[in-house]
Amino acid sequence: MSERFDDVVRNAFDFLGRSIDELEQHPKYSVIHFYSAIELFVKARLLKEHWALTVAKPEQADRTKFQRGDFQSVGLREANERLAKIAADGLLEEELKCFDGLRQERNQMVHFAHASQGDGAVAAKELDRIVSDHAKGWLYLRRLLSGRWKDHFDAHAEKISELDLRMREQTKSLERKFMLLTDDISAARGAGRHFMGCPSCGFESFEVSELVWIGLAKCLTCGYASVVVTLNCVNEECGKSILIDDAYECCRLCDHVYSPAVVEALIENESLIEFQRPHDVDRSAWANCGECEGYESAAHLKTGEWFCTECFSLFDEDEIDACEWCGSLTSALPEESMISGCYQCGGYMGHVGDKD
């Protein structure tokens, strides 16, 4: 089914290209085509596991009908659920939330009139919001295609780069909004606040607390918010102040790769100043992440929060606790962890099941 995979991917690229072309004159169709592209990319990844998984009811899958397109395909949430359960390669919570929001926007465009369809200040404001939403959606999608799903989409790397450039051109339409903020940003900088280039829209309006820091940052132009790591690039030939907001990101100035292992080492060696070893010597400085199921991937920070180097999730102090069965620190523990345990151990029920 490799030829079908490529067909689906090419179709997704076609929808994405049309979305870019139609944005200013036909925002309704731009929104519809943008979401169609995202859903097709997710289905293409599912197709890599097995063609029948892309059918709404796999038990009724017919290969001949599938080949000629005579079938009802799976939706976004169902496709993601299958990817998570079967391939352990589903969307992160923020990715699913973003893509599902675009799905709802697409449904509104299909069924009802929309404020972006018209002239005047209201339509212009809605168009800015659509550009911001698409920039965020593309950011998450590009990371998937070039990061976690790279092995599956690497043959299309050139096309991904081409569309990345086109999407970045599209965000330039937000420049008028950024220009209205420049005086406020200059004043804020004078007062000691810090701004960096936004990973989503590219404007220097992404506010971070410190230049060496881990925390939640937000763009004043497009509204994009994300947990980020800010630091001086560890590549000695670069050394510039940068931010990374994904577990598989590169320095945008020198292309130095920051994998989870690299970020973990920087935290462990206290090159990132937030790392804090708990005063209780029996309590680990690393916890398991219930969001991405990373083993001891969440580091304890001086703020009291925990930061996952695998998925860049940030947890409050009270969101991390010890499993009553195995004692491992983890997030997203069930109330009766002695019985059901954490995702690492299975608890008492898992122990009894192993004996059987």
pLDDT digit string (tens) for 100-112?
999 999 998 887 7
DSSP character string of 101-121? HHHHHHHHHHHS--TTSSSSH
Contacts of 272 (CB under 8 A, 6+ apart): 212, 214, 229, 231, 263, 266
DSSP 84: I
Cα separation, 315 vs 300, in Å, equals 9
Asked whether the beta carbons of 12 and 159 are under 8 A apart, the reply is no
State residue 314's pLDDT score.
Answer: 93
The two structure tokens encoding residue 313: 């999730």
Q: Which residue from 269, 279, 278, 181 is spatially nearest to 222, judged by alpha carbons?
A: 181
Please write the tens of the pLDDT for every residue from 300-326: 888 889 999 999 999 998 899 888 888
Highest mean pLDDT among 9-13, 249-253, 345-349: 9-13
- Widest CA span of the chain, in angstroms? 70
What confidence tier does 292 reach under pLDDT thresholds 50, 70, 90? confident
Please write the tens of the pLDDT for every residue from 19-78: 999 988 899 999 999 999 999 999 999 999 999 999 999 999 999 999 888 899 999 999
Residue 50's alpha-carbon distances to 5, 7, 42, 44, 54, in angstroms, are 10, 15, 13, 10, 8
Domain definitions of the chain by residue range: 2-175, 193-258, 286-355
Q: Name the packing angle between helices 27-47 and 121-143 (round to 10°).
A: 10
